[in-house]
Amino acid sequence: MNPSNPGAGLCIGVSACFFHADPMRAIFKGKTLEYVEQSMAHYVMRQGALAYLLPTPPPGGQVQLADLVARMDGLVLQGGSDCAPGSYGEEPLNPRWAGDRIRDDYERALTHEFLAQGKPVLGICRGAQLLNVAFGGTLYQDIGTQLPDALVHRDWDLYDGNHHDVQIAEETLLAGLYGAGTHRINSVHHQALKDVADGFLVEATSPVDGVVEAVRLDSDEAWVYAVQWHPEFQTKGDGLLDPDPLMCAFLDAARGED
């Protein structure tokens, strides 16, 4: 591996965000859009890997999910819409938090197929929540409602300019990358992990309110990692955690060097 180009030769799949069919939308009227946010694609490609949007396979078509996964070396689950409470056995506390069950099902299927093929998965923001749900965990549907004494983890006006501390536990993957202790991250989420799924280890929390900020699947057979913040919105030298060590650790796993 070239240290200056750790992703060289790797093909990384990025799960799609969805704009579902909307007959009132001015463009692509009545059509479903599947897309990747630019910062996420750049985050992957900055290390030399190729980023590929993974669309949903056509129903009854010749291309199956396993075919898409077979061409990839790893999966990034990007941020976006809420997970649907129904995906973890709850009803929405508010209609605004009904979430996207279609995307949940698509990303859970992607996750399990990547793991079945022995390939690593990195979840970011919604991706962290989706992984927790996919392995049997639950979520706080709205931090402000269910944890009223918590920090403001999502400020619409500040967006990724909303920052707070994160406490990284000792003897963890993150501690190996950044050192244990207190660091600074962005925060753009109103939902959070509640019951952490069996088999996941908490590696970082918000020290003020205990909100889970990073988890890892405790397995020698699979590399599954997730962070609640958006490393793709952070840059080296901006006072926040350098995003690149985390991506490089994921790419090492994709190359089989973890």
Check if 153 is active-site.
Answer: no
Which among 107, 113, 125, 190 is annotated as catalytic?
125
Which among 153, 164, 189, 230 is annotated as catalytic?
230
Check if 83 is active-site.
Answer: no
30 Rama sector, left if φ>0, alpha if ψ -120 to 50, beta otherwise? left
Q: To the nearest 10°, the Cα dihedral for 138, 99, 57, 229?
A: -60
Adjacent-strand bridge partners of 17: 35
Check if 125 is active-site.
Answer: yes
- Helix/strand/coil for 108: helix
Return d(Cα 139, Cα 247) in angstroms, integer: 25
Type of residue numbered 111 = T
Q: What's the token pair of residue 211?
A: 């909100």
- Helix/strand/coil for 122: strand
Which among 113, 203, 213, 232 is annotated as catalytic?
232
List strand residue ranges (DSSP E) for 36-180, in order.
Answer: 50-54, 74-77, 121-124, 139-140, 163-168
Return the active site residues: 125, 230, 232
